[in-house]
Structure 1
Amino acid sequence: MNWPIYIQHFKNYLRLERSMSENSIEAYLRDVEKLSQFAAMAAHNRGPEAITEKDIADFLEYINQFGLTPTSQARILSGIKSFYKYLAIENLIQIDPTQLIEGPKTGRKLPDTLSFPEIEQMLAIIDLSTPEGTRNRAIIEVLYSCGIRVSELVDLKLTNCYFDIGFIRVVGKGNKMRLVPIGRDAIKYTKIYLENSRNHLDIKPEAEDIVFLNRRGKALTRVMIFLIIKELAERAGIHKSISPHTFRHSFATHLIEGGADLRAVQEMLGHESITTTEIYTHLDRAFLQETLKSYHPREGNKFKQVKK
């Protein structure tokens, strides 16, 4: 038996024997599917019955890199524990690999994330009648839409923006380049900035290909991006420790909690695996773009409220 068959039987068990609601069932299945995705990448494509306690621990370490809250991690683990409890009841496994696994400590310090309404709140207070306002709106949209690092944002080049196909090319850690899908709102507001604000600057020769510039026509610094975001958060009445990286964590958290494929999120973030380099998988560009459109709160026709 493979993962889809085990998961289907688990679904029938939750519906018929546990009499759970459809929403609860779907949440449990998403948790198990995350583990199956991880198994396909990191555990040499082993089936559910071959997963070990170490695999579960590695999986929890893996999802921790996306900045999920301890509560979210504990919920995912709970779903997986229920799955393996079912397998044990049905005598499909001899040893439950989750039996000795403990959930994350709720007191552990993890990066703050912003809820979707909080991000909307920050965007709403930006004054688009000013050149800095149009630029700052574009910056926030790109950070949240693409999940890129602040260093990748300040180095983003016009020649690496392929808005016609919905991608940007960024240079990440280790000077590695990758293509990242960019959402429609990020494209919209970046174009407004380029056409209505950036075009009127006296741009310095060394910054001619840089997207985001200061009023003197030079590239913005990482510190300046931090100050812009901190000021917006304060004006929006958000009392959290906010930085450019907060949008990266929020991007990953919202996609994963919405049900996005872990491999796709990992590729978009440009992460090498924290457990094994075998996890890093090249994915089709259309798949990445579809992931963004389907699971990002600012994309698609259906709104998915992110629970905090």
Structure 2
Amino acid sequence: MKWKNAIRDYQLFLKIERGLSQNTIDSYTRDLEKLTLFLNDNEIDSSPIAIDENLVQQFIYETAKQVNPRSQARIISGLRSFFDYLVFEDYRKTNPTDLIEAPKIGRKLPDTLSEDEINELISAIDLSHPQGERNRTIIETMYSCGLRVSELITLKISDLFFEEGFIKVTGKGNKERFIPIHYNAQKYISIYIKDIRSHLTPKKGFEDTLFLNRRGNGLTRQMIFTILKNLAVAINLNKKISPHTLRHSFATHLLKNGADLRAIQQMLGHESITTTEVYVHLDKSYLKEVVETYHPRK
């Protein structure tokens, strides 16, 4: 079995059998391509079936010189998943990563913005041109609903259920969920559709896509990153932010103001409550307030 064929079959397995998003599949693929590049650079002729633990260890050792422990742990996890697939399909008897330990890493707390910083970002948007109105709507929507950037750029007009106060979002693994949307975000979306989007001619395939560029195409992930980066520069924000920062801020502010962790989990689309629990670590004062408010011995 050649690496190219094995990786292609693995990609199909991840998409069809496990229902993973294309972004996740691409991430796994990049790590496998690093392994094949390592083999080629060192003129090592070893197939996915024949490669052994020593070679994998050597690859990880070389990789560790170039990446941080978190990235190293992710690569090991990706390789383990690939070789588990080969064992599952009876191409191999053993997984060469079974005895390889990932580096211990601390739990990374997500970066967040304060409510004032979010208001500053929005205030810095130039509303004198159509893109400004669109960009304000984008940030209001992401912060109002805690969306991933991939969920934002694929949001459709037919996913808006404003009378019920919800939007329908397609998340990881094509799983759909309904999220309450704040009336402010509803207002800005309605203005954007009526005054800005109505003057655009959507390209084929984007007729129902909510957010479009000037040419009628859907927005890219990179464009959302760029919008936020430029706004951060405009207000001299001394933080490195991304679209995910708005999602983290959404969850943190809800929790801080007394929202139930399980409800936040459902809105974020986290499969496990343990993923959502990271937000508890951001503000220990929340836990203190819970005890003081609800404990019978208060």
Same fold (TM over 0.5): yes
Superposed, which structure 2 residues align to 1:195-210 within 5 Å? 195-210=194-209
Query: What are structure 1's unaligned runs of at least 5 residues?
Result: 1-106, 280-308
TM-score of the aligned structures, taking structure 1 as reference length: 0.54
Q: Deviations over 1:123-174 (max 9, x none)?
A: 1111222110000000000000000110000000000101121110010011
Q: Distance in 1 between matches of 2:266 and 2:107?
A: 26
Deviation at 1:179? 0.3
Q: Are 2:125 and 1:138 aligned?
A: no
Q: Distance in 1 between matches of 2:129 and 2:108?
A: 38
Q: Distance in 2 between matches of 1:216 and 1:239?
A: 33
Q: Distance in 2 between matches of 1:153 and 1:237?
A: 26
Q: Deviations over 1:214-266 (max 9, x none)?
A: 11100001111111111111112211110000000000000001110111111
TM-score of the aligned structures, taking structure 2 as reference length: 0.55
Q: Distance in 2 between matches of 1:148 and 1:241?
A: 19
Q: Distance in 1 between matches of 2:140 and 2:267?
A: 16
State the secondary structure of the residue aligned to 1:121. Answer: helix
Higher relative contact order (CA 8 A, sep 6+): 1
Q: Distance in 2 between matches of 1:153 and 1:166?
A: 17
Q: Distance in 1 between matches of 2:274 and 2:190?
A: 39
Q: Are 2:235 and 1:236 aligned?
A: yes
Inter-CA distance 234–262: structure 2 relative to 1 (3 Å threshold) = same
On the 8 A contact 2:229/2:242 being kept in 1, the answer is yes
Q: Distance in 2 between matches of 1:275 and 1:257?
A: 17
Equivalence for 1:262: 261
Equivalence for 1:245: 244
Deviation at 1:189? 0.8
Deviation at 1:211? 0.2
Q: Distance in 2 between matches of 1:162 and 1:210?
A: 15
Q: Distance in 2 between matches of 1:110 and 1:264?
A: 20
Q: Deviations over 1:102-125 (max 9, x none)?
A: xxxxx9642210000000001111
| Structure 2 residue identity aligned to 1:253 | T
Equivalence for 1:111: 110
- Count how many residue pairs are aligned between Structure 1 and Structure 2: 171
On the 8 A contact 2:265/2:273 being kept in 1, the answer is no
Inter-CA distance 108–261: structure 2 relative to 1 (3 Å threshold) = closer
Inter-CA distance 275–257: structure 2 relative to 1 (3 Å threshold) = closer
On the 8 A contact 2:262/2:273 being kept in 1, the answer is no
Equivalence for 1:163: 162
Equivalence for 1:182: 181
Equivalence for 2:30: none
Q: Distance in 2 between matches of 1:272 and 1:108?
A: 18
Q: Distance in 2 between matches of 1:127 and 1:142?
A: 17
Q: Distance in 2 between matches of 1:161 and 1:224?
A: 23
Q: Are 2:132 and 1:147 aligned?
A: no
Q: Distance in 2 between matches of 1:236 and 1:142?
A: 20
Equivalence for 1:173: 172
State the secondary structure of the residue aligned to 1:206. Answer: coil
Equivalence for 2:124: 125
| Structure 1 residue identity aligned to 2:192 | Y
| Structure 1 residue identity aligned to 2:140 | E
State the secondary structure of the residue aligned to 2:271. Answer: coil
On the 8 A contact 2:167/2:178 being kept in 1, the answer is yes
| Structure 1 residue identity aligned to 2:229 | K
| Structure 1 residue identity aligned to 2:230 | E
State the secondary structure of the residue aligned to 2:222. Answer: helix
Superposed, which structure 2 residues align to 1:1-308 within 5 Å? 109-273=108-272, 275=274
Q: Considering only CA atoms, is the larger Rg found in Structure 1 or Structure 2?
A: 2
Q: CA RMSD in A?
A: 1.7
Runs of 4+ in 1 over 4 A off after TM superposition: none
| Structure 1 residue identity aligned to 2:115 | F
Q: Percent identity?
A: 61
Q: Deviations over 1:283-304 (max 9, x none)?
A: xxxxxxxxxxxxxxxxxxxxxx
